[in-house]
Amino acid sequence: MPTAPTASSSNRGGAVERCVGDAAAFVRDHWATAPLLRRGAGRRSASQARPDGFDDLLSLAGVDRFLSTSPRTPAFRLVKDGQPLPPASYTKSGRIGSHPIGDLADAGKVYDHFHAGATIVLQGLHRWWPPLTAFCRELELFLTHPVQVNAYLTPPASRGLGVHHDTHDVFVLQVHGRKLWQVWDAAVPFPLPHQRKLPPGAEAPAGPPLVDAELAPGDCLYVPRGFRHAARTAETASLHLTVGISTRNWNEVLREVVELATEEAWFREGLPVGFADDPAALAASLAERVAELRRFLDKVDLDRVAEGAARRFWAGRAPLLGGQLQQLLALDELDDATVVRRRPGAVCRLEVRGDRLTLLLGDRELAMPARLEPAVRTLLATDGATAGDLAGLLDAPSRLVLVRRLVREGLLEGMPKPADGA
């Protein structure tokens, strides 16, 4: 039987609480149903003197440094008046080794466009900016929905997109400057991706907005998917992060349930000859097939479907391997006294079936004898453990092999040894 997942950590809800405060109240009162504005959300602790706390995730100086390194598209793009600018207008050619490339940022042209009113968009920051990689993983471990993040640097007195809605939930984190936001009710409740563009006039808001506020540094605004919104900068430039949650919905899971019926021979039979000439006869036959489908659905193993949906989520959470090269080079020095801990954001789901223990580690699986389960759980249960702590469970060679393997797989990391006299 599979055992309970061990994906949580002591700060599993830290990122979401930083955004919304009381996580349970947010899920109960706002998730997918109502916007939420939280002032001063970026503050990391009650004692923090500075109210603008999101600059630890990405600062204005960080954007400047990034653009100065000549990044390549599509890691960034420029948008003006709601329309993307052609990349050729702000990129240049170059070479990496002997390979010519033509999509390098021309920082001078980028800043010229920015001065002329274009917004600089940094895309997919969760993939390559370590502070946001860790932040998004914390959100994912709480929400169990995939999370992504873009940054938007907008010049003073500029408007981005007009009134529109997104097909995913978002947290807007104001980093620098101020931006005016308005949020109305949902244009389409729980829209599907193909409903991103509605007929002309469908986005026109009716009535006063639910949120009409100027976001200052450190403020967070939650906008559920489908809720219409618009934003514009005030007298200063604005840098904000848009954290998007790609929510899996019941439509997807129920389709998986129905898809199981395709293995049945009756499900794959062709429609009768002449079906288009006699819709009434087709409707009668269809009623028979629907009844057959109901009987089939009553027999579906829903536990198996649910476990598969959960497993696919965890399988997409690859290990966060910052500093792994140093960990690998120090493996031979790891001994019974070396303190190790679970990597922040690391996913590990344990499954025991018969005499085999399987560790689901995001993008990989690690199989080992089931007798090692108590030792693995001991290592994962605290913020710091040693191979020596497993002395009552494994002999010295075995416990070192286990700990070193889990470090090599990116689940654990060795902690620096204290200096002599410390």
| Confidence (pLDDT) at 9 | 39
Q: How confident is the model at residue 197 (pLDDT cuts 50, 70, 90)?
A: low
Q: Are 389 and 374 contacting, i.e. CB atoms less than 8 angstroms apart?
A: no
Assess whether pLDDT exceeds 80 at residue 367. yes
- Mean pLDDT score of the chain, rounded to an integer? 89
CA 147 to each of CA 186, 233, 236, 297: distance values in angstroms, whole numbers, following the listed order: 21, 25, 29, 32
Question: Residue 385: what residue type?
Answer: A
Interval 130-157 mean pLDDT: 95
pLDDT tens by residue, 319-347: 999 999 999 999 999 999 999 999 999 99
199's tokens? 């007929």
- Percentage of the chain beyond pLDDT 90 is 78
| Confidence (pLDDT) at 8 | 38
Q: Are 148 and 126 contacting, i.e. CB atoms less than 8 angstroms apart?
A: yes
| Confidence (pLDDT) at 191 | 76
| Confidence (pLDDT) at 289 | 93
Interval 397-402 mean pLDDT: 97
| Confidence (pLDDT) at 159 | 72
Q: φ, ψ for residue 23 (rounded to 5)? A: -65, -40
Assess whether pLDDT exceeds 60 at residue 422. no
Interval 217-232 mean pLDDT: 94
| Confidence (pLDDT) at 199 | 56
CA distance 301 to 341: 37
Q: How confident is the model at residue 163 (pLDDT cuts 50, 70, 90)?
A: confident
In the chain, domain spans: 2-245, 250-300, 324-414
Assess whether pLDDT exceeds 90 at residue 1. no
Chain position carrying tokens 């049945």? 264
**Interstrand relation of 356-360 and 36-38 (parallel, antiparallel or unpaired):** unpaired
CATH homologous superfamily for the domain 2-245: Cupin (2.60.120.650)
Assess whether pLDDT exceeds 90 at residue 352. yes
Q: CATH says 324-414 is which class?
A: alpha beta
Interval 235-262 mean pLDDT: 93
Q: How confident is the model at residue 235 (pLDDT cuts 50, 70, 90)?
A: confident
CA 381 to each of CA 99, 356, 385, 392, 413: distance values in angstroms, whole numbers, following the listed order: 48, 21, 9, 16, 14
| Confidence (pLDDT) at 202 | 59
Average the pLDDT over each of 33-47, 85-99, 118-132, 199-213 and give the range with the smallest value.
199-213
Q: Are 243 and 149 contacting, i.e. CB atoms less than 8 angstroms apart?
A: yes
